[in-house]
Structure 1
Amino acid sequence: MAQTLAEANFGNINEILEAEPPKWLADSAASNCMLCNVRFHPIMRSRHHCRFCGGIFCNECSKGRSLLPMKFHMGNPQRVCDVCCVRLEPVQPYLMDHICRAAQLPTHDLTDLSTLRSWLNFPWGQSMEYEIYKAANTISNYSKVGSLKPEKSIPDAILRQAKGLAILTVAKIGVMVTYNIGTGLVVARRDDGSWSPPSAISSCGAGWGVQAGGEFTDFIIVLRNESAVATFSGNMHLSVGAGLSAAAGIVGRAAEADIRGGSGGYAACYTYSCSKGAFLGCSLEGSVVTTRNQENSRFYGNPSITASDILLGSLPMPPAASTLYQALSNLFEKLER
């Protein structure tokens, strides 16, 4: 009997994995939800197609998001009806390991001047893949400039004790009062020296002081201890710091300390930066850093994943972040000599 049930379950799972994309029903095919039979309304009860079965359901009966089988050619979780969400649940671990975006090898893996995107990191990344590339490029460029100005590079003692890194690109502009916005990612360093998967973050804020101009700045924030990693594992935290900023043309460098506190706790962090643009001033800066939960969900194919799961859990290093891990290895290899 147990063997029969196992065979039946295997057959059902295999049938789901081999499923073909359905032909969606026309909107006019149903004026009522095909599950709860409630009549559709343009505002109160909008209609949605289930991406797995093609049926038409109301928003209350299609809240689930699931990865779809390989033949659907979709790497992001898709909206499905409640019935299909339950049907697809047993195959989600398999699909996360094989078709989600985190499981794919990177296509943008060059971080040198042979590629135009290596010259300047765009401050707002639309995808985790670009954040990974941007972070690897930031580390590579920082190492090159640091070799020319070692007094402004990250000290070996600080790197050796680091429990994680946050890497962002931020655009700042203004006179007296400045505004900044940008995106990046966070990775935690585990006890065995390996790295956690990346968690996507965004930052926006303002500053006040004797300052003027505009600049793009690549930040490497050293998370000195577990408390700092926990701070970045929350949904949101506030950063407050003060310092001198100067950029003229290709590169300006700075090293500062700031205090961060939020839903994940509070901690002091060291911030190292490379700036490009025309900017000069000293100011008090404040910014709000938030976890991009939606982008994390899309990248890992898991709608319920949290930053804490990513940074503090035991998830394996995703193949899509191999470029980032290589850059981190190059940055830390001098500590092992």
Structure 2
Amino acid sequence: MLCYAHFTAFTRGRHHCRFCGGIFCRACTKGRCLMPIKFRMRDPQRVCSECYKELEPLQGVLKNSISNASQSAKHDVIDWTCGRGWLNLPVGLSMEHEIYKAVNTLRSYCQVSRLQPEKSIPHAILNGASGLAILTVGKVGALFTYKLGTGLVVSRMSDGSWSAPSAILSVGLGWGVQVGAELMDFIIVLHGLETVKTFSSRMHFSLGAGMSVAAGPVGRVFEADLCTGDRGSGMCYTYSCSKGAFVGASLEGNVVVTRMDTNLRFYGDPYLTTSDILLGMVEKPKAAEPLYSALDDLYANIRI
């Protein structure tokens, strides 16, 4: 209906414009944007080139009113009456779910640090943090282990405030004297602005060594990692709480990827980059208020 090219099964498929309803090819429906409120859709939708030109001037208003980031938190953060209050799943399908998982991780860590201060992250390391990455990872294997998980990363501004969150995916491989399966909640302390810039890359690699022991409900892991990506390299310190049955010492390699589509669905801006999010160019989203409350509690314990 726009370029009049013939549709094909694989190279030029059919796509409906969500605004006007017309049928267009892939090349003519590359744009994604938020729709007016009457459509009752909070995720950016695929539209044709002509409708994109019409809707683009409205995106600033729509991002502040109907985007997922502008809504109140959907998940009840502390709900001990259901399984998800006790156990984070390794893969979250939305930013809202990642925020919920991150808050659960931070709340659990604060409880442990109050009861067992010797197992907490040293205050000097937290005070010197330039950012935090919080994610849940599943790990399984013998000798060779495989890891998969998702989470989010936030950077710490010079005034002590926090940036908007950016979603990440972690895939890893380990080798060593190890066997078992476990579920790990990670808090990764980013040391220095260069490490934050590394996490703002679309993809970066990390290499580290550590020891892991998990037996039953709780175990502890500490790792020191070197991260490198197309925007630089830096050091980070990894602390985690593990659940499962696992023991071993290993050399670990991980690939961390920014989930651009998850960020797009949350913020509703196709031009938004990870650097914009982590360097403080995006306002704190209303949907992430439970996360900022948990981060304030974490640092309040340090000040005390």
TM-score, normalised by the number of residues in structure 2:
0.97
Q: Distance in 2 between matches of 1:41 and 1:112?
A: 50
Deviation (angstroms), 1:306: 1.4
2:61 counterpart (94, 103, 108): 94
Task: State the distance in 2 between where 1:209 and 1:122 align.
Answer: 25
Shift of 1:180: 0.6
Counterpart residue identity of residue 272, structure 1? Y
In the alignment, is the contact (CA less than 8 A) between 2:157 and 2:280 conserved in 1?
no
Q: Which of these residues, 157, 169, 173, is aligned with residue 124 of structure 2?
A: 157
What SS does structure 1 have at the residue aligned with 2:4?
Answer: coil
Q: CA–CA distance in 1 between the matches of 2:212 and 2:227?
A: 20
| Alpha-carbon distance in structure 2 between the residues aligned to 1:240 and 1:45 | 41
The reply to whether residue 223 of structure 1 matches residue 190 of structure 2 is yes
Runs of 4+ in 1 over 4 A off after TM superposition: none
Provide the residue aligned with 1:301 in structure 2. 268
Q: Which residue of 2 aligns with 1:141?
A: 108
Aligned to 1:9: none
Paired residues of 2:112 and 2:119 also in contact (CA < 8 A): no
Q: Give 3-state SS (helix, strand or coil) of 1:131's partner.
A: helix
Matches within 5 A, 1:1-337: 34-337=1-304
For structure 2, list consecutive stretches of 5 or more residues without a partner in the other structure: none
Q: Matched residues in 2 for 1:139 and 1:44: separation?
A: 46
Tell me the CA shift for residue 96 of structure 1: 0.5
Q: Distance in 2 between matches of 1:211 and 1:40?
A: 53
Report SS of the residue matched to 2:9. Answer: coil
Taking the aligned partners of 2:159 and 2:76, their CA distance within structure 1 comes to 26
> Residue 62 of structure 2: SS of its match in structure 1?
helix
Q: Specify the code of the residue in structure 2 equivalent to 1:48.
A: H
Aligned residue for 1:105, secondary structure, equals coil
Separation in structure 2 between the aligned mates of residue 163 and residue 181 of structure 1, nearest angstrom: 25
- How much does 1:112 deviate? 4.3
What SS does the aligned partner of 1:98 have?
coil
In 1, Cα distance between equivalents of 2:237 and 2:291? 20
The 1-side partners of 2:123 and 2:12 are apart by: 59
CA contact (8 A) 1:109 1:323 kept: no
RMSD, matched Cα: 1.1
The structure whose residues are more often helix, as a share, is 1
Larger Rg: 1
Q: 1-side partners of 2:217 and 2:237: how far apart? A: 23
Tell me the secondary structure at the aligned position of residue 217 of structure 1: strand
Taking a change above 3 Å as real, the CA distance of residues 314 and 253 of structure 1, as seen in their structure-2 partners, is same
- Percent identity over the alignment is 58
SS of 2:64's partner is helix
Residue 207 of structure 1: CA displacement?
A: 0.7
Output the amino acid matched with 2:106.
I
* Counterpart AA for 1:55: G
Distance 1:143 1:102 in 2: 26
Contact 1:183–1:201 (CA under 8 A) maintained in structure 2: yes
Q: Is the 8 A contact 2:164 2:280 kept in 1?
A: no
Task: Measure the CA separation in 2 of the matches of 1:42 and 1:209.
Answer: 46
Residue type matched to 2:100 in 1?
Y
Q: Structure 1: 5+ residue runs without aligned partners?
A: 1-33
